[in-house]
Structure 1
């Protein structure tokens, strides 16, 4: 009894000390992550300015060097502040692989990209999958690209969803599966991907049947919307129009062309017959 009585205060003290040390660890991680995100924000701002003007000058224009150097320094500082930050790795890899930044090294960029992908960053997974799609006689790049793209799809990356949907439609390196392609285009379109919205709408106009998972979702959405309750039937034209509107809202000219074409076809159908 006395031993139990003496043990309780010590056990409480140990638990309090453990909780306090865990709190300090969490606070330190939060502080490092916050500092890293500040550096990433500054680096991204500089890189965004480069992307804004790079179409109007040479890729190795000297006027871009200060901005590129600023972006590189801030991404490196972000990694120093938080070595586990995948976004810092990803953006630093893009600088090495894509831009003419002083001190750029393709091997370093590739290593950073692979590290970020292995750590689960969706942008890095998608980027690596796209780069592995390039033919390589020494590496089974198609299988590896598909592996990384699937990992990015698991995190619902819109670009990866669109690309995987295109792979399923064409049957390139996988068995052709239109239902899976429709699902990929649908999820990417929900995230505002213009290309996926165009592909989804085009397939709907071709009369492709929706998979059961999407038809259930559409029925729930219709029943929850009072305006659509009276017309709960599957209407591929209206669904396609909705997809083209998503593409048009994203700034895609092809979406506007499809909307115009649908409007013209509707006018032809509604016009009175001028025949004898």
Structure 2
């Protein structure tokens, strides 16, 4: 069993490498550019070989489904892609669960699609998939299909931000600037983690200052991920600090 798993992982790695090369150049070419066919064929063949070596490999199923959905690979079929995606999700792959949940919610016109979508999204959230966490946070924040719950939204954004999700970091930082109260469960967890890694300062700033600094940390996460909004928010905070220093007035709460 171990040797089959290892062989399958090698095939997945080769297929993923070919697919990444396609992604690198596809923005500069037509979707059906014949020059991409060898790379797409290589990716497809390796993912199929991975399933032959180990039929339980969910990553091979997920990547194959993407080939059928997104790329003009020879023999592409959306029905096959959908079947592979459902299989990968039902086998517990969190990325597949997130993608299937998104597709069900956006593309499926059946009445029960929202229920099915949230079933898969919640399973992905249970495995702390950052995309699913961000989407569920947005749903809680807006009250779309679920009861509006700011505390739950913040929890979702916080956990997704910890995994480097730029959108979640922007949403979390914006809420902090607006003075939204952070759930006690998160503040306790963060204070314990901070006390274990560094000595807390004796003179903490005001709640407003603390909120701004925490928001800055979130925008830095977004900026590190290459998000333009992260850089814009950081610049805005810097400009506001300079304005306050020039005016020689006490810090006041920034308006998001």
TM-score between the two structures when normalised by the length of structure 1: 0.86
2:79 equivalent among 84, 101, 107:
107
Range that drifts further, 191-200 or 216-225: 216-225
Q: Is the 8 A contact 1:198 1:244 kept in 2?
A: yes
Whole-Å separation in 2 of the counterparts to 1:253 and 1:118: 36
Gapped runs of 5+ residues in structure 1? 1-28
Q: Is the 8 A contact 1:32 1:82 kept in 2?
A: yes
Residue 143 in structure 1 maps to residue 92 in structure 2: no
2:191 equivalent among 203, 215, 219:
219
Structure 2 counterparts to residues 90-169 of structure 1, below 5 A: 90-134=62-106, 136-169=108-141
The Cα shift of 1:135 comes to 5.1
Whole-Å separation in 2 of the counterparts to 1:206 and 1:238: 13
Structure 2 counterparts to residues 1-276 of structure 1, below 5 A: 29-134=1-106, 136-226=108-198, 228-231=200-203, 235-272=210-247
Distance 1:74 1:263, change over 3 A: same
Q: How many residues get paired?
A: 246
Alignment-derived partner of residue 6 in structure 1: none
Could you say what the CA RMSD is over the residues aligned between the two structures, in angstroms?
A: 1.5
Query: 1:150-189: CA deviations, max 9, x gaps?
Result: 0000000011111110111011110011100100000000
Runs of 4+ off more than 6 Å:
none
Could you say which structure has the larger radius of gyration?
1
The Cα shift of 1:73 comes to 0.2
Gapped runs of 5+ residues in structure 2? 250-256
Range that drifts further, 136-145 or 212-221: 136-145
Whole-Å separation in 1 of the counterparts to 2:226 and 2:153: 23
